[in-house]
Amino acid sequence: MSPRARARVLLVGYGSAGRGIHAPLLARAGAAPSVVVTSSPARVAQVHADLPGALVVPTLEGALAGGGLDLAVIASPSGVHAANALACLAAGVPVVVDKPLATTATGARTVVAAARDAQVPLTVFQNRRWDAEHRTLAGLLATGDDGPIGAVHRFERRWERWRPVPKDRWRENAPAAEGGGILLDLGSHLVDSAVDLFGPVSSLYAELAARSTPAEDEIFLALQHVGGVHSHLGASSLAAAPGPRTRVLGSRAAYVVTTFESEAHAFGGFDDLPGHTGWLVTGSERHPVPTAEGGHGDYYPAVLNALAHRGFQARQAALPVDPLGAVHVLAVLDAARVSAAERRVVPLAGAV
């Protein structure tokens, strides 16, 4: 694909992820979806309204049969991510899969192996790496133990919501085996953030609960990273008083973020200042941290630039997210289920 040519993009799914996240980001990158897969009459109407030039096809098989595609973006329910990705790879179409890559690490390894064997580029949409808090924290950590935080010993991140009445959609209604629940949804983001910042996980302890939905609506993971950092990650749909979003404890200072998007919180005194994200805190003193440059809009330009390279290895290496990292994330989530069921610390063999 020429970097100057308009990419012909297939978008699989036009629900909250496809319509609300991927389609706008693709349009910003100059690659609005040319073909959309959806069989819902209501969503077909939405595609026609939002993307007047797009072709709407009811099945993935029908869309792939048309050929001429430069990229497929999988935004279908999590339970069919792997199957959808495998179909696109078999057709020779480069793929972006919304997280999670599959529902298990075994499924994810199958997809990665298929991409390698077919020599077709594959990446994963881990968009939360482009959040302001993540970019800003990564910048602070890039200075190492001599930086403002010092040597980090604990990373905490929470994704807590007050939703006593679950939403009526597949993510809340589906069992875990079909991709439902917040372990695969929010847990994928939380673990990816921890691994991206502090490296692979060597062992973990987890507590999981399903209080209002068939799959998990409350999770807690304590991760031991190979490098020595401990990550405490939590998500809940039943937190009437959500805790601070991010807290990083180091030998020199802590980095604290209390607010996150539109989620309710009780930390108004710590609201971020314009142009800043989070605070460096030492006891009673705190200083705002300037927000690092970038954002979610950087993801698809990076994908399109990668696909402009020649050769599978060069294209794959230039993609913004290594799919092997997604395999490791799912290995962590698989181990979390074992840990919660058996109430024990579970070791992870290898980095991926």
> At residue 109, what is the residue type?
R
What is the CATH classification number for the domain harbouring 169? 3.30.360.10
What is the CATH classification number for the domain harbouring 58? 3.40.50.720
Q: Answer yes or no: do 138 and 201 share one domain.
A: yes
Q: Answer yes or no: do 165 and 286 share one domain.
A: yes
State residue 125's pLDDT score.
Answer: 98
State residue 5's pLDDT score.
Answer: 59
Q: Which domain holds residue 229?
A: 129-294+332-342
**DSSP per position, 188-257:** HHHHHHHHHHH--EEEEEEEEE-SSSSS-SEEEEEEEETTS-EEEEEEESB-SS---SEEEEESS-EEEE
Number of domains in the chain: 2
Q: Answer yes or no: do 338 and 201 share one domain.
A: yes
Measure Cα distances from 340 to 204, 210, 222 in Å.
10, 12, 11
State residue 168's pLDDT score.
Answer: 86
Do the domain assignments include residue 152?
A: yes
* Tens of pLDDT, residue by residue, the chain (352 residues): 554 458 999 999 999 999 999 999 999 999 999 999 999 999 999 999 999 999 999 999 999 999 999 999 999 999 999 999 999 999 999 999 999 999 999 999 999 999 999 999 999 999 999 999 999 999 999 999 999 999 999 999 999 989 999 988 888 988 888 888 999 999 999 999 999 999 999 999 999 999 999 889 999 999 999 999 999 999 999 999 888 899 999 999 999 998 877 666 667 667 778 999 999 999 999 999 999 999 999 999 999 999 999 999 999 999 999 999 999 999 999 999 999 999 999 999 764 4
Q: Could you give the CA distance from residue 163 to residue 239 in angstroms, rounded to a whole number?
A: 8
Residue 305: which H helix or E strand, with range?
helix 299-307
Angle subtended at Cα 191 by Cα 340 and Cα 196, rounded to the nearest 5 degrees: 150
Measure Cα distances from 130 to 238, 301, 321 in Å.
26, 13, 11
State residue 169's pLDDT score.
Answer: 86
Instruction: State the DSSP code for 347.
Output: E
Q: Answer yes or no: do 122 and 171 share one domain.
A: no
Residue 76: which H helix or E strand, with range?
none
Do the domain assignments include residue 265?
A: yes
